A and B are shown apart, each in its own frame.
Chain A
Amino acid sequence: MKKKKLKFIDLLSLTLLMCGACIMIFPFVWMILSSLKTQVEVSTIPPTFFPTKATLDNYIFALKTAPFARYFLNSLIVTVVCVTLTMFTTILAAFAFSRLKFPGRDIIFAALIAMMMIPFEMLIITNYTTIAKLGLMDTLVALVIPFTASIFYTYILRNFFLSIPDSLYYSAKVDGSSDWKYLWWVMVPIAKPTIITIALLNTIAAWNSFLWTVLVINSTNNRTLPFGVFAFIAEGGVRYERLMAAATIVVLPMIILFLFARKYIVSGVSRGGIKG
């Protein structure tokens, strides 16, 4: 009797989860399906679920009308350079804050932690002026240099570095290894999962960055994908089948990344935040 009841609960929760999952994923499914339909099919009532005749015309139109290949390349360059530089500054700083000794270290670190609460939006006004003064307006460099260090990622990595036993450091020292070598040949390999996790969080944030891009980029050729897809409304008109094709181009790389690196991303997010 009791067992039966438990089974009913299991079935109920599975059904509810399934319904919820369908709702959560529906916008993505609908985006992709709509992007494969023709204008006529997209505006029929009742709407068809699967395209009666799948077509890639909307993708071709998007690639022809707007330089989406260029946008894609820009996004890729900005993301890769941004993540590489951020990881470099993060690894060095996390090492200094965990392994090296200097007066005031923990106080400086506490002050940095307090700065994590500063909303990025508050910094925009001055950073915009700084970029303008440096003559970097409307360049890809402007999209990278304000985001080359992160207190949040440094904090995560420093905590991991602290968990690596001191004895390892001293035995490496005895073997004549320098700090620099010890960091890159011992600590970084041990911390690889953590570094991959923060690099992935950084990749997602860089790829999806929007507000800052809108502010500093003017010319079509320097747009990244999120800005490009937004501008496409003006260029391609409000034709949803085309917009959905453009949206798919932006979203798909991150979906693929998520499918391959789900565990890393989820573990990173559960540490407290994605936006850094």
Chain B
Amino acid sequence: MILKKKRTNFDVDEKITFKTLLKPFLYLLPFIISISIFTIYPFFNAFLISFKENYKALSGIFSGFGLANYEYVLTNETFLLALKNTVTYVLWVVPISTALSLLVAVMLNRKSKLQAFFQTAYFLPLVTSAIAVGLVWRWLFNFDYGVINFVLSQVGADAINWLNNPTYAKVALIVYGIWSMMPFTIILLLAGLQNINEQYLIAAKVDGSKPTQIFAYITVPLLAPTIGLTMIVNMITGFKVFNELFALFNGTPGPAYSLYTVIYFMYEQFYVKYRLGTAAASAIVLFFIVMILTLLQLYMQRKWKNY
């Protein structure tokens, strides 16, 4: 898709000489240096480290190559819990935020005088620090004085200990996750909606279809590729959940260590326990999850190209 862009015409008489190579090289140099040191090298090194057993970073000492790190990670209860939590998080947050965003996007797609206000209100979480806003959510979820429990008390429900009960803590994280994922999703769906040929909608209206019918039988099917792609991008984001957790539970993995996520596990192995090998192995598990999702995304993009 991207790469099939028309090549610029190579001049016939131009020969490859040292000089013609030097110029592109100089233009690329700053970019290549930065990418090589801080992206390409650490990427391959992560694989290498994941096979080094008992690796110590600063001295560079390790006892040998092997699969011990993977064995440790894949049989470690905490890692399996982290994986389970992350998958649960993704399975709740992605569908719900997509459904809500679809509703909002369809309504936002009509021209309105309040457009600027609505865009600001719905898109603001996009630009704000997940850590700072996480503290605000912590305050909203506060047991004694939080607004959420106050609203519950107004409708006659009991106050919930959101942040200290493992089950409700998960709900709190998911709620915060949905809220922070919605702006991005709405924007992508809006872009998709604006690409739908208006002729279809006009034709349906002329035929006397109801707005709900138009939504279900025209808008949603035509938007399906965008919805699918958005969900995959969001799944990738969801698998990397960390900041939200860190802010909501004050740097701990939830009440009673119940809310480990994959990145939190990696962070702890690396930064708290100095187990670089297992940190790398868990990072590589994450990489393969992201890679599979990305390949799925590319496959879908290709399949739906002719829409």
Contacts A89-B34, A92-B30 given: A125-B139 contact, CB under 8 Å?
no
Interface size on A, residues (CB 8 A): 105
Main secondary structure of the interface of B (DSSP, over half): helix
Residues of chain B within 8 A (CB-CB) of A57 are: none
Q: Confirm or deny: B110 has a beta carbon within 8 angstroms of a beta carbon on chain A.
A: yes
- Across the interface, A16 reaches (CB within 8 A) one of B2, B57, B107, namely B107
Contacts A47-B150, A110-B3, A121-B263 given: A17-B145 contact, CB under 8 Å?
no
On whether the beta carbons of A266 and B150 are closer than 8 Å, the reply is no
Q: Confirm or deny: A46 has a beta carbon within 8 angstroms of a beta carbon on chain B.
A: yes
- Across the interface, A100 reaches (CB within 8 A) one of B24, B40, B117, B267, namely B24
- Annotate A133-167 by CB proximity to B: 1 below 8 A, 0 otherwise: 00000000000011111010011000100100010
Q: Confirm or deny: B39 has a beta carbon within 8 angstroms of a beta carbon on chain A.
A: yes
Interface size on B, residues (CB 8 A): 104
Whole-angstrom distance from the CB of A237 to the nearest CB of chain B?
Answer: 12
On whether the beta carbons of A122 and B287 are closer than 8 Å, the reply is yes
Contacts A30-B136, A100-B24, A118-B43 given: A151-B131 contact, CB under 8 Å?
no
Residues of chain A within 8 A (CB-CB) of B291 are: 117
Which residues of B288-305 are within 8 A (CB) of A? 290-291, 294
A155 to B184, CA, bound (A): 20
Which residues of B5-23 are within 8 A (CB) of A? 5-11, 14, 16, 20-21, 23
On whether the beta carbons of A123 and B136 are closer than 8 Å, the reply is no
Which of B77-85, B87-95, B185-193, B196-204 is the interface stretch? B185-193
- Across the interface, A270 reaches (CB within 8 A) one of B116, B187, B240, B290, namely B187
Q: Confirm or deny: A257 has a beta carbon within 8 angstroms of a beta carbon on chain B.
A: yes
Which residues of B238-293 are within 8 A (CB) of A? 240, 242-243, 246-247, 250-251, 263, 266-267, 270-271, 276, 279-280, 283-284, 286-287, 290-291
- Across the interface, B290 reaches (CB within 8 A) one of A98, A119, A266, namely A119
Kindly report which residue of chain B lies nearest to residue A179, judged by CB atoms.
Answer: B23
On whether the beta carbons of B8 and A230 are closer than 8 Å, the reply is no
Kindly report which residue of chain A lies nearest to residue B123, judged by CB atoms.
Answer: A266
Most buried by B among A9, A31, A47, A225: A31
Q: Confirm or deny: A272 has a beta carbon within 8 angstroms of a beta carbon on chain B.
A: yes
Residues of B near any A CB (own CB < 8 A): 2-3, 5-11, 14, 16, 20-21, 23-25, 27-28, 30-32, 34-35, 37-43, 45-46, 49, 57-58, 100, 103-104, 107-108, 110, 112, 114, 116-133, 135-137, 139-140, 142, 144-145, 147, 150, 179, 182-184, 187-188, 190-191, 211, 233, 237, 240, 242-243, 246-247, 250-251, 263, 266-267, 270-271, 276, 279-280, 283-284, 286-287, 290-291, 294
Residues of A near any B CB (own CB < 8 A): 6, 9-10, 13-14, 16-17, 20-22, 24-28, 30-31, 34, 42-47, 88-90, 92-93, 95-103, 105-106, 109-110, 112-113, 115, 117-119, 121-130, 132, 145-149, 151, 154-155, 159, 162, 166, 179, 204, 207-208, 210-211, 214-215, 225-227, 229-230, 233, 240, 243-244, 246-247, 250-251, 254-255, 257-259, 262, 265-266, 269-270, 272-275
Nearest 7 A-B pairs (CB), nearest first? A126-B42, A149-B34, A21-B121, A93-B31, A96-B27, A250-B132, A123-B42
